[in-house]
Amino acid sequence: MIVEDELSIQRIYKILLTSFGFEIIGMAKNGEEAVNMYKSFLKKPDIIIMDHRMPVKDGIEATKEIQQIDKNAKIIFASADITAEKLAMSLGALSFKIKPFDNERLINNIKEKLGIEPFSEKVKNLV
């Protein structure tokens, strides 16, 4: 699941993640949408890519609420706002990616957290 208010970044996430075989089961434009979307999933997403600075509700608040729903929810923060890193990690985020970050790092981080083959190998396979 992607939580990101920037449409262009949403588009990139979509291209990137689907390229690596990840299914994006939902994209929320703000924290509020993210929480509602998470509630609505019968099958919860394996991982959530969470931006922090968003309108209506930010990533930290959304993380807290999602954790109330599912304390095991896996969340990777991907934000340009470095000030949120410490708080996000204290809430149990798997990692905090500071924009701009490498695609490979994001993918590897996702795979690592999900226990999947790293990106570089996949790319080799693609080629």
Partner 1 sequence: MNINLEEKRFQKYLDFAGVLIVVIEADQRVSFINKKGCELLGYNKEDVIGKNWFDNFIPETMKNKVKSVFDELMAGKIEPIEFFENPIITKKGKERIIEWHNTILKDEQGKIYATLSSGLDITERKKAEEKIKHLNLVLRAIRNVNQLITTEKSCEKLLQGICDNLTETRGYFTAWVALLDNSHNVIMTAESGLGENFLPIVETLKKGEFTKCSQIALTQSDVFITEEPYLTCLDCSLSRKYEGRAAMVVRLEHGEKIFGWLSVSIPRNVVKNEDEQKLFKEVVNDIAFALYSIELEEEREKVEKALKERMKELEAFYELSKIVEEPDITEEILIQKIVNMIPKSMQYPEITCARIKLKGQEFKTENFEETKWVLKSDIKIFGELKGTFEIYYLKEKLEIDEGPFIKEEKALIDALTERLGKIAERMEVEQKLKESEEWLFTTLRSIGDAVITTDTKGNIIFLNPVAEYLTCWKQEEALEKPIEDIFNIVNEETHKQVENPISRVLREGVVVGLANQTVLIDKNGKEIPIADSGAPINDDEGNIIGVVLIFRDITERKKAEKELIKAKTFSESIIDSLPGIFYLFDEKGKFLRWNKNFEEVTGYSGEEISKMSILDFFVGDDKKHIAERIQEVFVKGKSTAEADFISKSGKKTPHYFTGLRMIIDNIPYLGGLGIDITERKQIEQKLKESEENYHQAFKRAEFYKDIFAHDINNLLQNIKSSMELLSTFKNVLEKSDEVNELTNIIEEQIVRGSKLVWNIRKLSQIEETEDILESVETFQVLKEAINFIQKSYHNKEIDIQIDSQIKQGFVQANELLLDLFENILFNAVKHNENPKIEISVKISKVDKDRKKYLKFEFLDNGIGVPDALKEQLFKDISSIKRKTKGMGLGLLLVSKILSIYNGQIWVEDKIKGDPSKGSNFIILLPEVI
What is the nearest approach in angstroms of partner 1 to the Cβ of residue 99? 4
* 111 in contact with partner 1 (CB under 8 A): no
Using an 8 Å Cβ cutoff, are 4 and 27 in contact? yes
What is the nearest approach in angstroms of partner 1 to the Cβ of residue 124? 11
CB atoms within 10 A of CB 112: 12
The string over 91-103, giving b where at least 16 C-beta atoms fall within 10 Å of a residue's C-beta and e elsewhere, is bebbbbbeeeeee
Closest to partner 1 by CB, 43 or 124: 124
Question: Which helix (H) or strand (E) is 104 found in, with range?
Answer: helix 103-114
* 91 in contact with partner 1 (CB under 8 A): no
Closest to partner 1 by CB, 44 or 85: 85
* 8 in contact with partner 1 (CB under 8 A): yes
What is the nearest approach in angstroms of partner 1 to the Cβ of residue 92? 18
Q: Which of residues 19-58 bind partner 1 (CB under 8 A)?
A: 19, 29-30, 32, 52-58
Q: What's the residue count for the chain?
A: 127
Single-letter residue type at 98:
I
- First-last CA distance in the chain: 27
Distance (Å, whole) CA 25 – CA 93: 20
Binding site residues, partner 1, CB under 8 A: 5-9, 11-12, 15-16, 19, 29-30, 32, 52-58, 60-61, 80-81, 83-84, 98-104, 123, 126
